[in-house]
Amino acid sequence: MATFLYKLGRLSFRRRHFVALIWVALLTLAGVGAASAPAAGNSSFSIPGTEAQKAFDLLEQRFPGTSADGATARVVFKAPSGEKMTDPGNKATVQETVKELSDGSEVVRVIDPYQAKAVSKDGTIAYAQVSYKVSGMELDDAAKDALQDTAQDAREAGLTVEIGGDALQAVPHTGSSEIIGIAVAAVVLVITFGSLVAAGLPLLTALIGVGIGVSAITGLASALDLGSTTSTLAMMIGLAVGIDYALFIVSRYRAELAEGREREEAAGRAAGTAGSAVVFAGLTVVIALVGLSVVNIPMLTKMGIAAAGTVAIAVLIALTMVPALLGYAGRKVKPMGEKGKLLGRAKKQDKQAKPNLGTRWASFVVRRPVAVLLLGVIGLGAAAVPATSLELGLPDDGSQPTSTTQRRAYDLLSEGFGPGFNGPLMVVVDAKDSDDPNAAFAETGDEIKGLKDVVTVTPAQPNKAGDTATITVIPGSKPSSVTTENLVHGIRDAGAGIKADTDANVLVTGSTAMNIDVSEKLNDALVPYLVLVVGLAFLLLIVVFRSILVPLKAALGFLLSVMAALGAVVAVFQWGWLSGLMGVEQTGPVMSMMPIFMVGVVFGLAMDYEVFLVTRMREAYVHGEKPAQAVVTGFRHGARVVTAAAVIMMAVFAGFIGSSESMVKMIGFGLAIAVFFDAFVVRMAIVPAVLALLGRKAWWLPRWLDRALPNVDVEGEGLRTASGDEDGDRVLVGG
């Protein structure tokens, strides 16, 4: 592989005009496709195999035209102090509002609160429910404006009016903090390279890669049913890995120049050595992201594949466009040890200068491996403690900021009708095989009334054929509570008895039941996903490092960092620690997909640093250095660049904490803190300590396995022949 990448790097350097033209053409093509593609709607949230999804599908079949998955809006009214919603003036205002809401072309129906008895017991709060033909993200802007204008008219008449539901769902924005993250990355690159040109190359190539990836996702969003979060995730991960991969190639190029090689030769060697590490690091990220498909949640699968595609583009750009741009930059990119005019006069680094910080730190760890190992493990263990209190759920209007009308509507409904009113359960009774459907409907309602935490059970509403009915159940607890989850399971358990008595199937659905089913599906998939992703990556790392214990140590270190990161997420988003600093206005359960998503993404990113740092240690070892000295050598050449890469990745992820989307905010924080734990605690402290303790055993591989494994030549041994370098020049992996 190293020889092939070496030739590719030299070719890209030599044919830089052609390479640059190809990537600019791809960017233009993707941009035109994104601009001309139809606007994407909200990604359909189907969960194959769950009871809630089966019930939704049954409703579409038995209640045609009802748009069971269409957007809904609850327009909540509150009377002025001392008045009631049943007062003639207030009632007239509400009825006029209902009439105006019914005129919309995308409106299926509007339920009058007085006919539906949707007025609180004290008479101060009422609500009208609006159902639409399409989902919230597909809803026409004119329909959203009409909804808000109608509510404003009622406000001007003296009522307090708020709008809940998903009809006003908006495309999330990331805020200005994303720009701050990129700015931090730029500053780190300038400090690392001491040159604006060298610092600008990773940023430019990363932005081009992300531009191609996100534009392609935008162009295909409508055809492939991709949601807005998909492109945000692809941007987040693509930008982080794109900068990092280019950083390693440029750093290695500067190291080769410092060895006295010509620029084309240096570009080829950079692609052949650091490029090999980029390929395998990228593969681990792709495996982790594509592996999300085992969960069998279409939305999560699409997010993972789209992000994996963006990572693949970042790898290709690092291997081809970076060498091409280095050709354009010429002498403006200085050899390692020389600084540009930006940070002072150019001068060669004194070879007798004191060891760099990476060397000094590695030497300390090698002398005190047990103390460093214990401190690192205990520290991460302490950070992971909050994860033992992890509560999972999916966000609803109750998790919105208090400044939004959706959250104020949620609070008004809780005040007037109880907390469970915001999470009604829809029970679907399929009595097609029953001899007496009406008896089945009645028995189902009676059984549910006898369960705990049930406030209201509405009469069964049968379809035209009379073989299927819906029953609305209002719990006594809020949607995200354990009590409501127990009620859902209680209804489903009661359904078994109803099935035996009446041959009718009882299914529970609705957004609350769907959230519960998603959480359980994700929990059930976590272990198989871990086995698949960690297993595949473990095999890949055995090929890279030609060792059993090093990949095993890498996997265990990852588990430590991801558990510590989950603990930090719980502390901030569930317990509320530092919530003000992070912009978390409402604490609550951690999103159901957060653990499995963090496992996938963090594992891939963690292996980046493992590959870049440890391949250099292995090369030093196979070239004759003692195990402890090989660790120090690896840090001497790789610690500075790995540190810069980690800081950049943290800055990019942290930039997404400013997003208006709670899922994006949580993912941004979780990934940023996970990179901190993994790069600075696991890879910089625990890894060298473990390798120092293992000594030669760390690089042990059974002979039969050594013969069976393919030789991928990450160290670049084949480059001696490819470049005509017969004197055995040293090859520095990872810069």
Q: pLDDT averaged over consecutive 10-residue blocks of the chain (735 residues)? A: 86 92 93 76 65 86 70 88 90 91 82 85 90 72 86 90 80 59 81 79 89 85 69 81 88 86 89 85 85 82 87 93 90 72 48 72 92 94 91 73 83 89 89 89 91 87 88 87 88 91 89 85 83 82 85 87 92 83 73 81 77 81 85 86 85 77 80 90 92 90 85 64 46 39
- The per-residue pLDDT for 731 is 39
The Cα-based distances of 109 to 61, 76, 438, 608 in angstroms read: 19, 16, 26, 53
Contacts of 693 (CB under 8 A, 6+ apart): 369, 370, 373
Residue 291, SS3 per DSSP: helix
Residue 732: the pLDDT is 39
| φ and ψ of 493, to 5 deg | -65, -40
Do 149 and 94 contact (CB within 8 A), yes or no? no
Three-state DSSP state, 158? coil
pLDDT at position 367 is 92
Which residues contact residue 392 at a Cβ distance below 8 angstroms, ignoring those fewer than 6 apart? 519, 522, 523, 589, 590, 591, 592, 594, 595
Distance CA 253, CA 257 (A): 6
Nearest in space to 611 (alpha carbons), one of 151, 283, 190: 283
Q: Of the candidates 604, 719, 728, which has an alpha carbon nearest to the alpha carbon of residue 237?
A: 604
Helix (H, G, I), strand (E, B) or coil at 116: coil
Q: What local confidence, expressed as pLDDT, does residue 78 receive?
A: 93
Give residue 281's pLDDT: 82
Strand ranges for 319-443 from DSSP E: 392-393, 425-430
Distance CA 305, CA 485 (A): 31
Angstrom CA distances, 700 to 10, 472, 600, 613, 622, stand at 35, 64, 28, 18, 12
Residue with tokens 């790898």: 315
422: its two tokens: 């915001």
Nearest CA to 600 out of 687, 688, 670 is that of 670
Q: In 315-345, which positions are buried (b, 16+ CB within 10 angstroms) versus exposed (e)?
A: bbbbbbbbbbbbbebeeebbbbbbbbeeeee
Structure tokens at 564: 């510590």
